[in-house]
A = this chain, B = another copy of it.
Amino acid sequence: MTLDRAVAQRFAQASRAEFEGALASLVEIPSVSAAPEHRGDLERAAARAAEILTELGAHAEILETPGAPLVVGGFLLDPGLPTVTLYNHLDVQPAGEPEWKSEPFRFTRDGQDIYRGRGTTDDKGPALTAAWGAKLAREHGVPLNIRVLWELEEEIGSPNFRAGLERHQAALQTDSIVVSDTVWLTRGKPSTPAGLRGMQSFTLSLVTGAHDLHSGLVGGAARNPFSELVCLAAEMFDGRSGQVKIPGFYDDALPLSAAEAASFRASGFQLDQFLRDHHQPLLRTHDPAEVMARVWAQPTMEIHGFAGGYSGPGVKSAVPARAELKMSCRMVPNMRGERVMEQIQAFVAARAPEVVVRSEGRLEAYRGLTDGPYAEAVLAAYQFGFGERAAIVREGVSIGAVPTMAEVLGAPILFMGLSLPEHGYHAPNEFYDWPQAGGGMAAFAKYFERVAQIPR
């Protein structure tokens, strides 16, 4: 018997108190992966998460990695059935912003439906919502192994995730993966990305002398490493338009198909809301289609800052001996970080051979599915949970775990986020809400039901 809306609603209502208690207990563990002093909290969050799974009637265990542990568990029925893996993360961003109106690591309620605290929406709330969705699917007899895979280092770029997956690869075999860590464009209109941008960070550094020099004594004859790096950066890209001038940079980038462009236009993207969400008075373009293309489907080059020289108040007039330029490129599907680094290195070597180019981190882009049974299952799930057809978009943000899972586990990855822009990913006063949780439980249960019907 197909899962129907009334059953799902009754399940959500009946589960609400237990869900809220579980979310409160996780939010109150400050699992900040960026801060070494919170290492113990990562362990405590893993232990509490395993306990929650056990309370739900699921299997749970804690797997070691070279870094923070993984929580692995779920409802595993029969090796003969297909397996879906549910990926979320339970670590959180730091919460030092002075704008917090409540204690960030207290779970506080705002009216009936708002749950406030660091990690409520990124990503503890969606993680538990999906787990309760799995419980509903289980209670409804869906013939599917549902595995939970919860990471605790996502906010720092998943440095040990690959090693953890490889260590436990045999136990983690799966037919598909669903990730719940993305944000809709607007309440009431679900969206699911069919691709993520990657990111290649790098530095350009130049040393021209042993120590800083007096600009009166040597200025004019002495080289200035800041001036030379500025010159080089201006040759690499146009800092006003963002256009990259390095030969071949755009060659591998997957062009946006007409179908995806049409799907973007139907996504509910609102330019004025985008400007408000990001407190940006002016963008490089104000054509909404062009803004979506730029943030979801085009590569970038950015300058994040400089090291070296004088950065205090006013001006100190020494000629610096060294300068370092901190940059990154977001990459779109089909681009590879290694190739981007080769292009940058070749460009710099030809124009400024003394400049040292150093790769500082790489997250590959990911190309997801826009059609086929898994994509249709996502659309059906959102329709069931929220009564709206989801828009297929892309995600401009990089999630390092995604290309890693694609590579190590070799399974397709779908995205079923539940967060809203106003929830405030990485922002002060972060929150999650019951309508997204209750609808999300229904949507995930329906997703599992549909996936169970996909032939292996």
| CA of A187 to CA of B233, assembled, Å | 43
Contact yes or no, A304 B315, CB < 8 A: yes
A350 interface hit (Cβ, 8 Å): no
A129 interface hit (Cβ, 8 Å): no
Complex interface bits, A7-29 against B, C-beta within 8 A gives 1, otherwise 0: 00000000000000000000000
A240 interface hit (Cβ, 8 Å): yes
**Which residues of chain A (311-325) have a CB below 8 Å from chain B?**
311-312, 314-320
Residue in B211, B228, B305 whose CB lies within 8 Å of A226: B305
| CA of A282 to CA of B233, assembled, Å | 21
Whether A361 contacts B220 in the complex (CB less than 8 A), given A230-B239, A305-B309, comes out as no
Q: Which residue of B lies closest to A212 (CB)?
A: B304
Complex interface bits, A190-226 against B, C-beta within 8 A gives 1, otherwise 0: 0000000101011100001111011111111111101
Complex interface bits, A105-127 against B, C-beta within 8 A gives 1, otherwise 0: 00000000000000000000000
Contact yes or no, B210 A224, CB < 8 A: no
Contact yes or no, A227 B317, CB < 8 A: no
**Which residues of chain A (389-408) have a CB below 8 Å from chain B?**
395-398
Contact yes or no, B295 A320, CB < 8 A: no
Residue in B217, B234, B283 whose CB lies within 8 Å of A278: B217
Contact yes or no, B294 A221, CB < 8 A: yes
Q: Which residue of B lies closest to A232 (CB)?
A: B239
Residue in B224, B299, B320, B397 whose CB lies within 8 Å of A239: B224
Whether A215 contacts B300 in the complex (CB less than 8 A), given A240-B228, A242-B220, comes out as yes
A456 interface hit (Cβ, 8 Å): no
Query: Contacting chain B: which of A326-334, A371-379, A439-447?
Result: A326-334
Contact yes or no, B310 A304, CB < 8 A: yes
- Inter-chain contacts of A240 with B (CB < 8 A): 223, 227-228, 231
Q: Which residue of B lies closest to A224 (CB)?
A: B302
Residue in B280, B294, B328 whose CB lies within 8 Å of A209: B280
Closest 6 CB pairs of A and B: A305-B309, A227-B239, A216-B397, A234-B234, A231-B239, A220-B294
List 19 interface pairs A-B (beta carbons < 8 Å), by A numbering. A197-B216, A208-B280, A218-B280, A219-B302, A220-B284, A221-B294, A222-B278, A224-B242, A227-B301, A234-B235, A302-B319, A305-B306, A306-B309, A311-B311, A314-B326, A315-B326, A315-B328, A315-B360, A315-B361
15 further interface pairs, Cβ-Cβ under 8 Å (given A223-B283, A304-B320, A315-B326): A199-B216, A201-B314, A213-B280, A217-B278, A217-B397, A218-B280, A222-B284, A226-B239, A229-B239, A230-B239, A305-B310, A314-B326, A315-B327, A315-B360, A316-B326
Q: A residues engaging B (CB < 8 A)?
A: 197, 199, 201-203, 208-211, 213-224, 226-231, 233-235, 237-240, 242, 278-285, 290-291, 294-295, 298-312, 314-320, 326-328, 330, 360-361, 395-398, 425-426
